[in-house]
Structure 1
Amino acid sequence: MKNLFLFFLFISGTLSAQWNAQVSGTSQLLNSIQFLNSNLGYCAGDNGLLLKTTNGGANWVSVNANTGSPAALFTTPDTGYTYRGTEVAMTVNGGQNFSTVLVCTDGISALSFPSLSVGYAAGMNMMEDSIIIYKTTDAGVNWTYYSGIPASLMAYSIYFIDNNIGFVGGFYGGLYKTTDGGLNWNMVYNGTSGAFSFSFPNTLTGYAVTESGSMLKTVDGGDTWAETSTGAGPILYSIDCVNPSTCYAVGGDGFSSGTIIKTSNGGTSWTSSQSTLITYQMVDFLNDTVGYACGGNGSILRYGSSLTPNSVFETNPENQLQLYPNPAVDFIIVDNTTSSGNSIVEIYGIRGELIRTVSLRSAENRIDISNLTAGMYIVKVISDDKELFSKMIKQ
């Protein structure tokens, strides 16, 4: 669907001046986010949801609600991959359709594509107590099984610097490295905290974050690693470095607290870039000035220039929702006269989280908002043939 509206909000208090909420249009847990350029990005979540933006995150639309996968990895604007149980699936049309390209007897839990043609899938063989590796050299058309890595851990992450040098980490500790494209693997770190995510800003300097909230760092291309505390919460799920000194990491406890932390001195010290009630699952930076994070309750944040109090709400007049009174105190009336049938009203908060869903069955519908806290909200009406939007001020 064509992007219909842009909105910018002044966010204060619970949100940093540099982390701004985006409206995702869902309350699903979002597990992966990836931008291929300044405009085009994908975000994948639970229950097979795949979202897409073509304007830098101002709008997100669902391009597929049934991928069967909690995460996605794209190598081009149209070509992407997902894993679901014992399968890897591929799309060549921007996520609209997926075809299964790998079926195995073991569970797949991580993907890495260091180039357009070369990719790796990692998982766990429970019967043999080993990490399994599959490799493709033709962009996912064919896959070759490589002997499992003897290790009592579930592969949570796989990361390749180039087509030959890569790393595997996961639950229960232990990092493994290959220098020959996955043929042979050697343990390079034996710890108690499993690595959930890797980031290498160059070929020598690399970082990983763990299930205990600590950081692992290498300065020799991954041959040796040192673990240090970040001071963050129980789990860090993702890390992305914009240069050897500056990195961002996200995580949380999955229930009532989350964190986004930053280092500007190569991990010597970390500061809280954002403390939230949302656990964030992944962070992705395009450059040192623009980045994104996604997580619980459909939350997407964009890191960028500060927003001003002069809110802007632009919409195609044909897709402007009529509601009144606005500002409102106890209720709003939604004009549904343009709908051809039953419709759904969704109310979103400034974090982009879905707060309420109401069914509309008449031309005008009174919706109780008395229990909403004062502030700005986005109201969206979904019918069979269109989507209508409006901002709403609750007093």
Structure 2
Amino acid sequence: YGVSFANTKNGIAVGWGIILKTTNGGNTWNVLSNSYNLYAVSFIDSNNATAVGEVIIRTTNGGSTWTVQDDEHELWGVSFVDSNHGTAVGPGGRVLATSNGGTNWIEQNSNTTSDLWSVHFISTNLGVTVGEYGVILATTNGGKNWTDKSSGPRYTLRGISFTDLNNGTVVGGSGKILHTTNSGNTWTEQISGISNQLFDVSFINAQTGIIVGSSGVILATTNGGSNWNSRTSPTSNALWSVTFIDINTACAVGSSGTIIRSTDGGTSWFNQSSGTSYNLQGVSFINSNKGIVVGANGIILRTTNSGNNWNMINPSPTNNTLYDVKFIDTNNVVAVGTNGTMIVSTDGGSTWSSKISGTPETLNRISFIDMNNGVIVGNQGTILLTTDGGANWIAEPKMTNYSFFGAKFMDINNITIIGDCGTILRRK
């Protein structure tokens, strides 16, 4: 989990139940005795090092032996500027400091309850620590005072829509709408005029889009988001997902079995009967008539007449909540949900079977650019990719433990992924 070099030759790495040391710049590593779970280490000089995790341990002989200094605090990051002055950080905004090599550790007030993951000091006075929700704290007096230097959004982003490689919109907490015209290189905030949670967005072209969110909120634009106008909603239930079917027709689904539809480009909306009170989380249409909705308790609803009638698929292959569904083509459909659930249909949604996803994490959103290339994103930084129409899914190496709630192919080579704490990733 952690590594630190005292100079170009001497380094120490720590992990769960292990400490490694190199004296030749990392060409070879030797195992040192350790029975503690450790997350970080600060190698001060060739003799002195401090490691933290479920304990604080210290060596004064280059790692040959270690002494426990504290076993009451879990810590995830540590930084020493000399053999005496050090700072350690951890969960719940915890900050401990020492001025005598760890003989005594004094708790400091960080003014945050966010988990702190890493810390670095460049002098006894100047230091920075970072943590969850994008928190960045800085001190100029050795930690006596910590000042919030966080920048950028900390709200969760949940919905994403791209109409081409350049033009995209994402939405999230507190009424946030972000728009890009350059493939996500920069994002500009648009005015929603509300503070509701926004859960999904769908554009049929670069100008015409719809956003849905909590309390049945519906926003619409006909000028690429320069103006977002509130539409009268036929429901006060949360709306979790929305899709444009064609330039005139759109469908949204939400809590307590809500299904609503528009036939005038999102200007007006009316309820459709779902026949269920379960929360409905995802919706997909392959054409103006044929659509599928999924939700809590593995519920699957199917229509072949534009939603005038919704038929429940019984039995469903799962009781887990399904969060999203996508038509790959007229016959092939995939849906995903909690506990790594993945189910597939090869007959347009009439019958379904379970498929192994290869992950236990909740899967939240699906995007396909064509019949072969697709992406699924989920909790704890999960990204799954397919290049064979979903026959096989390959997990991408994790870049973060943040959960992802939206993904969209911009073209065959570019994917944008969004999630917790304002995270926006672009895969090229």
Give the TM-score, by structure 1 length. Answer: 0.64
Match of 1:133 in 2: 259
Q: Which has the higher strand share?
A: 1
1:121-178 Cα offsets, whole Å, 9 max, x none, are: 22334xxxxx23222111122223222x222410111211111111111122111100
Match of 2:167 in 1: 40
Match of 1:102 in 2: 232
User: Alpha-carbon deviation of 1:183?
Assistant: 0.8
- May I ask how many residue pairs the two structures share in their alignment? 271
Q: Alpha carbons of 1:76 and 1:264: their partners in 2 closer, same or farther (altered >3 Å)?
A: closer
Taking the aligned partners of 1:198 and 1:47, their CA distance within structure 2 comes to: 26
Taking the aligned partners of 1:226 and 1:293, their CA distance within structure 2 comes to: 27
Match of 1:313 in 2: none
Q: Alpha carbons of 1:283 and 1:274: their partners in 2 closer, same or farther (altered >3 Å)?
A: farther
Q: Alpha carbons of 1:269 and 1:77: their partners in 2 closer, same or farther (altered >3 Å)?
A: closer
Taking the aligned partners of 1:219 and 1:111, their CA distance within structure 2 comes to: 24
SS at match of 1:221: coil
Within-5 A mapping of 1:1-395: 25-64=152-191, 66-67=193-194, 68=196, 69-84=198-213, 85-107=215-237, 108-125=239-256, 131-147=257-273, 149-188=274-313, 190=316, 191-252=318-379, 257-275=380-398, 276-304=400-428
Asked whether the equivalents of residues 203 and 221 of structure 1 are also in contact (C-alpha less than 8 Å), the reply is yes
**What amino acid is the match of 1:260?**
I
Q: Alpha carbons of 1:76 and 1:270: their partners in 2 closer, same or farther (altered >3 Å)?
A: closer
Q: Alpha carbons of 1:215 and 1:96: their partners in 2 closer, same or farther (altered >3 Å)?
A: same
**What amino acid is the match of 1:185?**
W
Taking the aligned partners of 1:178 and 1:96, their CA distance within structure 2 comes to: 35
Taking the aligned partners of 2:265 and 2:286, their CA distance within structure 1 comes to: 17
CA RMSD of aligned residues (A): 2.0
Taking the aligned partners of 1:245 and 1:216, their CA distance within structure 2 comes to: 17
Taking the aligned partners of 2:397 and 2:327, their CA distance within structure 1 comes to: 23
Q: Alpha carbons of 1:298 and 1:163: their partners in 2 closer, same or farther (altered >3 Å)?
A: same
- Work out which of the two has the higher radius of gyration on C-alpha atoms and give 1 or 2: 2
Q: Which runs of 5 or more residues in structure 1 are unaligned?
A: 1-23, 126-130, 305-395
SS at match of 1:286: strand
SS at match of 2:421: helix
Q: Which runs of 5 or more residues in structure 2 are unaligned?
A: 1-150
Taking the aligned partners of 2:408 and 2:334, their CA distance within structure 1 comes to: 14
User: Alpha-carbon deviation of 1:266?
Assistant: 4.0
Taking the aligned partners of 2:184 and 2:419, their CA distance within structure 1 comes to: 15
Asked whether the equivalents of residues 275 and 310 of structure 2 are also in contact (C-alpha less than 8 Å), the reply is no
Taking the aligned partners of 1:122 and 1:48, their CA distance within structure 2 comes to: 19
Taking the aligned partners of 1:66 and 1:238, their CA distance within structure 2 comes to: 27
**What amino acid is the match of 2:411?**
N
Taking the aligned partners of 2:225 and 2:372, their CA distance within structure 1 comes to: 35
1:332-384 Cα offsets, whole Å, 9 max, x none, are: xxxxxxxxxxxxxxxxxxxxxxxxxxxxxxxxxxxxxxxxxxxxxxxxxxxxx
SS at match of 1:47: helix
Asked whether the equivalents of residues 49 and 70 of structure 1 are also in contact (C-alpha less than 8 Å), the reply is no
Q: Which has the higher helix share?
A: 2
Asked whether the equivalents of residues 233 and 258 of structure 1 are also in contact (C-alpha less than 8 Å), the reply is no
Q: How much identity, in percent, do the aligned residues show? A: 29
Q: Alpha carbons of 1:91 and 1:245: their partners in 2 closer, same or farther (altered >3 Å)?
A: closer
Q: Alpha carbons of 1:243 and 1:37: their partners in 2 closer, same or farther (altered >3 Å)?
A: closer
User: Alpha-carbon deviation of 1:268?
Assistant: 4.1
- Greater relative contact order, per chain length (Cα 8 Å cut-off, separation 6+): 1
Taking the aligned partners of 1:101 and 1:119, their CA distance within structure 2 comes to: 13
User: Alpha-carbon deviation of 1:102?
Assistant: 2.6
User: Alpha-carbon deviation of 1:74?
Assistant: 1.9
Asked whether the equivalents of residues 30 and 296 of structure 1 are also in contact (C-alpha less than 8 Å), the reply is yes
1:167-192 Cα offsets, whole Å, 9 max, x none, are: 11112211110000101111225221
Give the TM-score, by structure 2 length. Answer: 0.60
1:27-68 Cα offsets, whole Å, 9 max, x none, are: 221112221111111111111111111111111111226443
Q: Alpha carbons of 1:144 and 1:66: their partners in 2 closer, same or farther (altered >3 Å)?
A: closer
